[in-house]
Amino acid sequence: MQITGTFIDEISHDIPHQNWGREEWDRDFAYMKAVGIDTVIMIRSGYRRFITYPSQYLQQNYGCYAPPVDLVGMFLELADKHGLKFYFGLYDSGHYWDTGNLQDEMDANRFVIDEVWKQYGHYQSFGGWYLSMEISRKTKGATEAFRTLGQQCKDVSGGLPTFISPWIDGKKAVMAATAQLSKEDAVSLRQHEEEWSEIFSGLHGSVDAVAFQDGHIDYHELEDFFAVNKKMADQFGLQCWTNAESFDRDMPIKFLPIKFEKLRLKLEAARKAGYDKAITFEFSHFMSPQSAYLQAGHLYNRYKEYLQSLR
């Protein structure tokens, strides 16, 4: 199972910024292309007051800071140059994380979607949308939020694809800011299927793919959960992707590049389940030869060897 897409996390709250400029990003897109990545996904266009493009709407209505660089424009130009598809990730106001209410995310992104398509829709590489609201369980308003914003994305862009990347509420679904590595109240396979079947039943035509994050369950649980995910995706007409996390959730230091053996276990489980695509969170920090983490370059080398063994 080959990784063909990666998130780009330039607005983060739990991994360090690498302070790259255009030269470093240009080089990183080339590294991605060299191992078969054809899709880059900006994970969010903003988080609270920090934003990736000079949004007049977000600056005026959410008090966002004017960004020193138009990252969206730069990523689209580099995607054009390297022949990659670019997916735009919606804005995250942070209000949902504080209140559990998705209404603010809907209200903000109705304007962001129109603004972004007007400013950047002409780029050849603009290939789709990422609905960046992350949930794990049946959440009040989640189906409506995904359906409403997904449909608007498709309407303004002539039907470009949309996808979501929720997490499985497994034993390793713990807050990054704590030293805790696992919890007792993990979701059962049956609960997972029941709750997500209900959500997926309301998304027909507005969301094209689901890429469950794969790091919150244990490695011996992958086969069962992946089989259920593929079954649900097929039932509700969704593409089934895997978000193969390239960082390690099993260590008290959050977060470092993953051991290759663990990444391989996850990719092989996705292959066995018949998944349609593998993306990762995320190449530039945890797999790139120029990452701030020395181990990331070694993971890149091990991954290249893995790809060669598949030929």
Domain ranges of the chain: 3-310
Question: How far apart, in whole angstroms, are the C-alpha atoms of residue 2 and residue 242?
Answer: 11
Which candidate, 221, 220, 210, places its Cα nearest to that of 277? Answer: 210
Fold of 3-310: TIM Barrel (3.20.20)
- Burial of 14 from C-beta contacts in 10 A (0-12 / 13-18 / 19+): exposed
Per-residue pLDDT of the chain (311 residues; tens, 9 = 90+): 999 999 999 887 789 999 999 999 999 999 999 999 999 999 999 999 999 999 999 999 999 999 999 999 999 999 999 999 999 999 999 999 899 889 999 999 999 999 999 999 999 999 999 999 988 787 888 999 999 999 999 999 999 999 999 999 988 867 666 777 677 778 999 999 999 999 999 999 999 999 999 999 999 999 999 999 999 999 999 999 999 999 999 999 999 999 999 999 999 999 999 999 999 999 999 999 999 999 999 999 999 999 999 88
What is the reported pLDDT for 109?
98
Question: How far apart, in whole angstroms, are the C-alpha atoms of residue 12 and residue 172?
Answer: 20
Residue 178: count other Cβ atoms within 10 Å of its Cβ.
Answer: 8
Indicate the residue type of 178: T
Rg (the chain; Cα; Å): 18
Q: Which residues of 231-246 are buried (b: 16+ CB within 10 A; e: fewer)?
A: ebbeebebbbbbbbbb
Which candidate, 134, 141, 58, places its Cα nearest to that of 106? Answer: 141
What is the reported pLDDT for 175?
66
Q: What 3 state SS string does the chain have?
A: CCEEEEEECCCCCCCCCCCCCHHHHHHHHHHHHHCCCCEEEECCCEECCEECCCCHHHHHHHCCCCCCCCHHHHHHHHHHHHCCEEEEECEECCHHHHHCCCHHHHHHHHHHHHHHHHHHCCCCCEEEEECCCCCCCCCCCHHHHHHHHHHHHHHHCCCCCEEECCECCCCCCCCCCCCCCCCCCCCCHHHHHHHHHHHHCCCCCCCCEEEEECCCCCHHHHHHHHHHHHHHHHHCCCEEEEECCCEECCCCCCCEECCHHHHHHHHHHHHHHCCCEEEECCHHHHCCCCCCCHHHHHHHHHHHHHHHHHC
What is the reported pLDDT for 177?
64
Euclidean distance between the first and the last CA atom of the chain, given in angstroms as a whole number = 12
Distances (CA, A) of 11 to 89, 119, 269, 296: 11, 20, 30, 20
What is the reported pLDDT for 13?
78
